[in-house]
């Protein structure tokens, strides 16, 4: 089951976000204070940021996703950025990632012109899932500047 994140999910969300940012799925960990700020935004409003919790059939928390929203002139409308998608190791390979993308397609893509995400080039399992769901690799080099 996939559901919107709730205020009472903070501790489990923080635990999973910590695991995610200490995994091979990301370049480097982030400051733990970022988890609290993102969580506050997710439960405050869904204008910019949405959070979702994945639960197994037995009610166990299996993972989470964080989605950002923005207008993209390039795509001609709203873009949904799948900023984080994390499944706990015991729940990987069980179809939950596919279930999440079906959920997005059915429930969140109304008015959205583009879905976007990023993945580490070595994360072959994730890349395989994304490609099966119709994602294509963009030939852009992303640059950032911290302010």
CATH number at residue 65: 3.40.630.30
- Does 145 reside within a domain? no
Domain that holds residue 44: 2-132
Query: Encoding tokens for residue 141?
Result: 């080099």
Taking the C-alpha atoms of 18, 103, 9 and 31 in order, what is their torsion angle to the nearest 10 degrees?
Answer: 30
Residue 146 lies in a domain: no
Q: What ranges in 45-145 are assigned the alpha helix state H? A: 96-103, 124-132
Q: Is residue 19 situated within a structural domain?
A: yes
Say if 33 falls within a structural domain.
yes
Q: For residue 44, is it within any domain?
A: yes
Helix then strand then coil, % of the chain, to nearest 5? 35, 25, 40
Q: How many structural domains comprise the chain?
A: 1
Percent of the chain scoring above 90 in pLDDT: 81
Q: Tell whether the model's pLDDT for residue 109 goes beyond 80.
A: no
Burial of 114 (0-12, 13-18, 19+ CB in 10 A): middle
Name the pLDDT band for 27 (thresholds 50, 70, 90): confident
Distance CA 107, CA 81 (A): 15
Distance between CA atoms of 73 and 95, rounded to whole angstroms?
Answer: 33
How much is the pLDDT for 80? Answer: 95
110 within a domain of the structure (yes/no)? yes
pLDDT digits (tens, 9 = 90+) for 66-78: 999 999 999 999 9
Question: pTM to 2 decimals?
Answer: 0.92
Q: Residue 46: what pLDDT?
A: 86
């Amino acid at each position: 089951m996939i559901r919107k994140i709730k205020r009472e999910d903070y501790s489990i969300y923080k635990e999973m976000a910590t695991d995610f940012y200490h995994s091979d799925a990301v370049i480097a960990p982030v400051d733990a204070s970022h988890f609290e700020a993102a969580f506050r935004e997710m439960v405050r409003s869904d204008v910019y940021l949405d959070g979702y919790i994945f639960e197994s059939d037995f009610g166990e928390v299996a993972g989470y996703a964080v989605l950002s929203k923005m207008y993209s002139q390039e795509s001609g409308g709203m873009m949904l950025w799948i900023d984080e998608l994390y499944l706990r190791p015991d729940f990987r390979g069980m179809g939950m990632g596919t279930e999440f993308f079906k959920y997005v397609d059915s429930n969140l893509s109304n008015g959205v012109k583009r879905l976007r995400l990023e993945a580490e080039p070595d994360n072959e399992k994730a890349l395989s899932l994304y490609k099966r769901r119709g994602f294509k690799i963009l030939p852009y080099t992303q640059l950032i500047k911290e302010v």
